[in-house]
Amino acid sequence: MKKFGSLLLVSVFAGAITLGAYKLFLEKPNYAVIQQENGAKMITSSYTPTSAKGSGINEVDFTMAAQNTVNAVVHVKNVTVSKGPSSIMEYFYGYSGSQTPQVGTGSGVIISQDGYIVTNNHVISNADQLQVTLNNNKTYNAELIGTDPNSDIALIKINVDRQLPYLAFGDSDNTKIGEWVLAVGNPFNLTSTVTAGIVSAKARALASLDQSFIQTDAAVNPGNSGGALVNTNGDLIGINTAITSQTGSYVGYSFAVPSNIAKKVVEDIMEYGNVQKGILGINTVPMNSPYAVENGINEIDGVYIAGIEEDSGAFDADLKEGDIIKNIDNVEIHKFADLIGYISSKRPGDELLVTVLRGEERMEFPVMLKERQTIIIPVLGFEVKNLTEDEKKTFKTKKGVKIIGVPETYRNYGFEGKVLLSFGDEEINNIQDAKNKFGKISRYDRASITMLNKKGEKERLIIQ
């Protein structure tokens, strides 16, 4: 019994020594200095508890966002009938008139209870028939309402006799790098597929598209195009659009059109029938070009103004060549993709507060966005501009667009300076009208255009 008591005392004594050594040498308190009213200082200490559970994916609930999204994402089928020669024999012995249907698939997002659906332009491009299959396997024929190839956004509609589940547009400007997101679509015809990832970057530029994208690492594959990118609240923050891959399948990068841009395009199509695109009226220097490298422009944090277009908002606001755009409406601008991403969500007539660095001085200018006055029309590649009031009087016309540039192929035909009046039997009112009409031509179609020369004479040209 005495032996047991001795062992107990030794154990208690050893434990006390160990605890005291830990308190004295290993445990480090966090000290706080408190200033009392009488001026005396009192030092207190507190210990910060350490949790074995870290913050991460286990604390994020994807289930509600996924459940709310899958029913609002649809499967889009594009049926295109090829009207050209389908075999080598038809090239030699003539086109027999056979028609070969080709089927492409993608995704879309229901954005209203009455059946409006946003998708990618490349999903529905050149479609002879569009079909939409809902998550409940019901299939409807769809009507194309409008499209914008520049942003790769299109609006289609199905007629239904009941209210549909839909997604509301979120504010993509509030999206943060590192935020969890879900990509929902129909990759490889696997309907209602949900993948998770994070926002890898914002305002990402792709060489093939003059657009600003949200980059994520959520798995996106062929068939996902036009589907939804949502945050954990289920808000639609992007339309999945592209991947960069040498194999054609997902390798870790995917890109979505920000919801603020997609929403603006959809609203323009519904209200105006086309996209209202406002421009600042500045010219920039391509990054990594010899001029940019030699003059240190690549190292600039912001957008360097290399030139100002006359009669533009930038011209009227007195922006200067050499100014560096740092902010627009208090949104930081680090590169051109930031600039184009923000302006793409605005319209002609909107006024922006542009902050520039001019030398060492930081200056602010209110700038009114104006409508683009020139555009290159599809197929022909003519550069055309809207007519001024003086030009309308000179050519004695109220409609049409003036041809100010042509590709090398047409350089010797004398098209420059003429007014393009109509496409087939349809009058051309402005540059957007011209772009939309010529955008409908396929390589097998024949069409006629009517032009007005400087003498006031009409000329007709057949194109094929």
Kindly provide the residue ranges of all beta strands, DSSP E only, lying in 149-192, ordered along the sequence.
Answer: 153-157, 180-185
* Contact call for residues 431 and 385 (beta carbons, < 8 A): yes
Give the span between the Cα atoms of 7 and 10, in whole angstroms. Answer: 5
The reply to whether 125 belongs to the active site is: no
* Contact call for residues 184 and 69 (beta carbons, < 8 A): yes
Give the span between the Cα atoms of 96 and 73, in whole angstroms. Answer: 40
Q: Are strands 419-423 and 331-332 parallel, antiparallel or unpaired?
A: unpaired
* Contact call for residues 148 and 269 (beta carbons, < 8 A): yes
Cα angle 42, 44, 48 (rounded to 5 degrees) comes to 160
The reply to whether 225 belongs to the active site is: yes
Q: Would you say how long the chain is, in residues?
A: 464
The reply to whether 45 belongs to the active site is: no
Residue of 107, 151, 200, 225 marked active site: 225
Residues 6+ apart with CB under 8 A from 218: 181, 182, 183, 195, 196, 197, 198, 229, 254
Residues 6+ apart with CB under 8 A from 324: 300, 302, 303, 304, 305, 356, 357, 358
Residue of 148, 152, 235, 338 marked active site: 152
Residue of 75, 107, 122, 172 marked active site: 122
The tally of CA atoms less than 13 A away on the side-chain side of residue 202 is 21
Active site residues: 122, 152, 225
